[in-house]
Structure 1
Amino acid sequence: MPNEYRDIVTVDETSFDYIFEQNVTVPLVSGGRIRCNVYRPRGAGPVPAIVTYGPYGKDTHYQDFHPQSFAEVSPQHKSAHAAWETPDPGFWTSHGYAVVRADEQGLGQSPGVLDTMSRDTSEAFCDVIEWAAGQAWSSGKVGLLGISYYAGSQWRVAARRPKGLAAMVPWEGMSDYYRDRCRHGGILSNAFIWFWWNRQVVTN
């Protein structure tokens, strides 16, 4: 018998300079579910959202994931919920944006089968964007912002033209996963993929 899927969302409106909603469920068109964290400015009307979707764990703090890198980050980007290669909620909520950080399907709190960089990944990301655009707290405008994996995924989801997507800022994100990631010049080059999978994904 499969495990029962339960609602485990929590809302904290007092501990931080922003409203923190953890494990919010986003229904997928495919019938699956994604869980995300939502960080919103206090007392604000409808605001634009910055959305990320990836495999590094929405609840894994930057300092725990990459301590040496975190030590080099500007203090204004070091909030209680800073995470690797994604927008810092402390900074962006103070500038009038909501931040939605989703666990990729099959990882963290999102049930399902993990299949990074796949068509299903992009379709689920598309659903999360459209969900964010339709929330009562949202202005209907969604931006994408992220580095590396969180950048490359932007190209693929933007091609699907999700409703509400207004901007994207992909930093250091490859656009051709075959040539740029594992077949440099047509020659098999999977050392990075091996390192990335075991260091960045499996650990979460």
Structure 2
Amino acid sequence: MMPTCPLCASADTAFYHRDAWRDYHRCERCTLVFVPPTFRLAPEEERAVYDQHRNSPDDPGYRRFLARLFEPLHARLEQGARGLDFGAGPGPTLSVMFEEAGHPMAIYDPFYAPDPSVLEHTYDFITATEVAEHLFSPGKELARLVGRLRPGGWLGLMTKRVTDHAAFTRWHYILDPTHVSFFSESTFRWLANEHDMSVEFPAGDVVLLQRRWRSASVKASDGF
């Protein structure tokens, strides 16, 4: 029996690839490539991998890396727009970059900043850098983030994209045991259509989704 897609919940999935230690399946509906639940790490194993990350706002190289998302998103924001950095990790940096540019920021991370109250507010923009590929339940998590955006708000994601099957089988990105969800352009186009959003691809690993203004209205006072 094929596993259900964790993004769109379709049962129309098919085997896609097998390497030395796990399987990958592809959804025929939204084209997400994903690792079935049986191959996922336990929370303590996942945390141990993340604890090895040494990211910091004092690292110019890391700032240059994040600038691939920061620059195109910042160019689309109004002055003083409020944001949330989701999955900020052990060394929050993108939030610092936006704060330096005049944007009040909240952060959330299930391991390092697990404050659920920030997920009760709404925001002008939400970022998630190198997060989408780690999500066990991307459909649920991304829908939650979209629901926290005000009309006209932006969701900015950084994650490397699937191009074709041959490249996938040689891809270093799948060697990280915490990477379990792999998106392509068509996956993001499906996501945009599902949530009534526009979508742009400013770089090979960057996607910007904007909630349309005609979406359900949100009280302007619902901030943080």
Same fold (TM over 0.5): no
Q: Which has the higher strand share?
A: 1
The alignment's TM-score, normalised by the length of structure 2, stands at 0.29
